[in-house]
Structure 1
Amino acid sequence: MSEQRLITFGEATREAMIEEMRADDRVFVYGEDIAKQGGIFGQFAGLKDEFGDRVLDTPISETALVGAGVGAAIAGARPVIDLHYADFIGIAMDEVLNQMAKAHYMFGGQADMSLVLRAPDGVMSHAAAQHSQSLETWFTNIPGIRVVVPSDPRTGKALLKAAIEDPDPVIFFEHKALFPVKGNVPLDDEPIDLGKAAVVREGTDVTLVSYSLMLSKALEAAQQVQDEYGLSVEVIDLRSIAPLDMDTIYKSVKKTGRLVIAHEAIKLGGVGGEIAARVAEHAFEYLDAPILRVGAKFCPLPFSPGLEDYVLAGKPEIVDALLSIVNERRK
């Protein structure tokens, strides 16, 4: 059995970068404040000392950053581009939408696009409307891009390694609040299949699907309803939202007959809606109650801590959904 270490998400993703850069000299990383500062969350600390010009501080231009990554990938490199915050990805949208996602297709498979965009997203430290967004759903509607959403240090390291090794472009949405979170990470863990979800808690009464930081709240809610009400909740960590591993979800819904989907992103137009639609189309006969979704209200994130809590959903809303869907079944 591999040695386990209790390390932070930031340390785990740093290990992934070091291992991939040592294994393949085509891997490099560009971004803002990553060489001298080591990244805004310390996730690139010390890389400049070992890898020199393969770790480069750039001007504040997301357009130039992603454009350089696209060109480098077409030329055969394996760039990792750090976007500082995912909130700034709109500045580079043409490069993402019309170049990164389409180059392989439009060049008839002759142009590879092994490019990773690291995009810290989500709510942290009451950073207000321009620095607290969960934008991952935008990119699930763009063919040609993989969208990855790690939930803890172990999946962070394994998924980042898999993303770097993947021949297709990957947007790696890593929640800002995850970087200081600690978890057990094997010393020599293998990369994770980018298209495969994981059942992280077995159950029989309700299927609860989540991803990223919200997964920890989902697990807490599942434990609470078991302790207080005796409900058995099966929890699925999506890990990837493009593609979606619907087979794992269908199998679980077939067993439990009930489905709740929870994410930090705005509920309207979120990943939960797509999952609910597919289950309604392909697994409706297994459902004993209506599908429920948990997500943020349709509102920019306020700076005020009290208002932020009002807009966001969390463990209490997940608990309410789990109890509601079981009560619906009992009617």
Structure 2
Amino acid sequence: AAATYCRDQQRPALLWVRELSRLNDHSSAADVTFKFQQYDPLLDLGQALVSRGILDPDDVVRSKDGESKDYYARHELGRVGTDADAYIVHTMEVAASEPEPSYERCFENIRDPYPEVVEPPRTGRPTVISINGAVRSALGAILRDNPMTWIYGQDVGAKGGVMQATRGLHAAFPEQVRDAPINEPFIMGAAMGFALHEGATALPEIQFSDYSLNTLHWLVHLGNLLWTSDSTARANVIVRLPVEPLHGGAVYHSMCMEGFYGAIPGLTIVAPSTSRDMYGLLRTAAEYTGPVVFFESKGLYRMTLGDAFPGEPTDPEEVRRLKRAIAFEGYAPPLPDDFRVPLGKAARLQEGTDLTMVTWGRSTLFCLEAVRRLAAEDGISVDLLDLRTIVPPDLPAVFESLDRTGRLLVVHEDRVFSSLGREIQGAAHEHFAGTHIATRVLGQDAVPGIPQSVYLEEKLVVSPAKVVAAARAVLAVKRRGATALTAGPAQVLWTPNRNFVA
């Protein structure tokens, strides 16, 4: 009745539920007695089904007199309830008779295998497609190819999103691109429910990544769904989160989320830094069967970064018109339909021999500038890796490079404590236990948040100058090596000694 009223009158209704019965305690520590004189919705539901001819009177739950405080002793379960109870008892008996489960199976079904794709070779000339244009083009192709694709988020429809990444998509796909209420848990929960349908892909957008903190439980459910269901359930949810500080966004529009979400088992997290990586990773993620979280740097949306796509225009006037259409008209440029970038693989942006530098997202831009300065001013040769997929990171690529250089600098926008950078640093010392490596992690300063003052923001965050200084500090460490320990119950596998630079 309330739902009908809301639909017909287009007005809200308030439901006041009083003295709602409970079948049992909420936990084994509680001591709540079921009050049999209360209204019982199970009895009412049964009678309603009987009155509609759906079930017979003997099928449904009925109350009976007695002194017992146990619900089941005071009720006849009926045929439906008795059959269900017998099924539950049988299932429990079968489970109890089975041998102990396999420990090895705990490590199965954490993630489905990633799609096998071949990344196109780099063209060697700069792109004229902005990150925004790459996002629009990828999302448009995904919506076109799969009618069971749904983009859902605050202002993603007619407005095109605060970042304008979905501009024009609602007009082209009005049933598949929908605005959501200001309710992030609802956005994520609805997306997960939609994605549980066969062949469905959900693309929820949270307006700013800071607002996603109250969706943590949904991200945990998404991450462990394949594992907890023993691979019987999957949800292809591609979560898009604008991240990182920019232009005085202040405390709740500037957060980096790696440290919060990187530890959730089963999630795949990517942080593209170029237009081709953004487009190619979105296209690959839509063909994957599991959840992927995109950290999209707010500072990069309107920038043209990385190598050109095949077929991009080179005529100056044509380039000018294309850039204007993308920036001001919501144009989604037609990009190669078969263009894919593999999940889980780092990109080597420059080969070097003196220092391994690992980064992702907007920090890649700062690292590229720092690498040029280090080469020009110090003659330092840097092996620069853009992880692209930061969870799980491409550690084999990191280790291969570090094996050649002996020195590692991880650069990211997040704070260093409990960060992915620290995780990579620790993994490197475990892998090279007892050998001669020196490492450092660079991130934003360790303060609770980013102030609204642009001056203070720029002081706190990573910059090319800070990357140069950190690189010089790592290279200045004498490579005396770490001391390997014999593994034991109360011991670790490595000690960083002087080579672990704070």
TM-score normalized by the length of structure 1: 0.95
1:318 maps to which residue?
Answer: 467
Q: Is the counterpart of residue 296 in structure 1 residue 419 in structure 2?
A: no
Distance 1:198 1:329 in 2: 29
What is the aligned counterpart of 2:294 among 161, 169, 172? 172
Q: Deviations over 1:213-243 (max 9, x none)?
A: 0011011101101001111011000111111
Q: Is the counterpart of residue 224 in structure 1 residue 373 in structure 2?
A: yes
2:247 maps to which residue?
Answer: 125
Distance 2:122 2:478 in 1: 43
Structure 1 segment 1-331 matched on structure 2, within 5 A? 5-76=127-198, 77-97=200-220, 99-183=221-305, 184-186=307-309, 187-188=335-336, 190-284=339-433, 287-288=436-437, 290-299=438-447, 300-329=449-478
Q: Could you say if the C-alpha distance between residues 152 and 287 of structure 1 is closer, same or farther in structure 2, counting changes exceeding 3 Å?
A: farther
How far off is 1:2 after superposition?
9.3
Q: Deviations over 1:81-101 (max 9, x none)?
A: 01111111112122112x222
CA contact (8 A) 1:253 1:287 kept: no
Identity of aligned residues (%): 29
- Bigger drift between 184-193 and 275-284 goes to 184-193
Distance 1:57 1:40 in 2: 12
Larger Rg: 2
CA contact (8 A) 2:436 2:479 kept: no
1:93 maps to amino acid: L
1:82 maps to amino acid: E
Q: Could you say if the C-alpha distance between residues 175 and 2 of structure 1 is closer, same or farther in structure 2, counting changes exceeding 3 Å?
A: closer
How far off is 1:286 after superposition?
5.0
2:360 maps to amino acid: Y
Distance 2:459 2:214 in 1: 29
How far off is 1:313 after superposition?
2.2
How far off is 1:285 after superposition?
5.0
Q: What are the ranges of 5 or more consecutive residues in structure 2 without an aligned counterpart?
A: 1-120, 310-334, 481-502
Q: Deviations over 1:232-284 (max 9, x none)?
A: 01100011111111000000001111100111111111111000100000024
CA contact (8 A) 1:254 1:286 kept: no
How far off is 1:174 after superposition?
0.5
- Bigger drift between 178-187 and 297-306 goes to 178-187
- Structure ranking higher in strand proportion: 1
Distance 1:248 1:88 in 2: 33
How far off is 1:50 after superposition?
1.4
Secondary structure, in 3 states, of the residue corresponding to 2:414?
Answer: strand
Matched pairs, number = 329
Distance 2:434 2:352 in 1: 20
- Bigger drift between 318-327 and 2-11 goes to 2-11
Distance 2:299 2:292 in 1: 21
TM-score normalized by the length of structure 2: 0.63
Large movers: runs of 4+ above 6 Å: 1-4
What is the root-mean-square deviation in Å for CA atoms of aligned residues? 1.7
CA contact (8 A) 1:301 1:308 kept: yes
Distance 1:102 1:292 in 2: 32
1:109 maps to amino acid: S
Distance 1:2 1:254 in 2: 26
Distance 2:418 2:466 in 1: 18
CA contact (8 A) 1:205 1:234 kept: yes
How far off is 1:309 after superposition?
2.1
CA contact (8 A) 2:245 2:457 kept: no
Distance 2:446 2:475 in 1: 26
Distance 2:152 2:270 in 1: 20
How far off is 1:125 after superposition?
1.1
- Bigger drift between 297-306 and 217-226 goes to 297-306
2:400 maps to amino acid: K
2:452 maps to amino acid: F
CA contact (8 A) 1:82 1:117 kept: yes
1:127 maps to amino acid: G
How far off is 1:330 after superposition?
7.9
Distance 1:287 1:318 in 2: 22
Distance 1:167 1:279 in 2: 30
Distance 2:434 2:356 in 1: 15
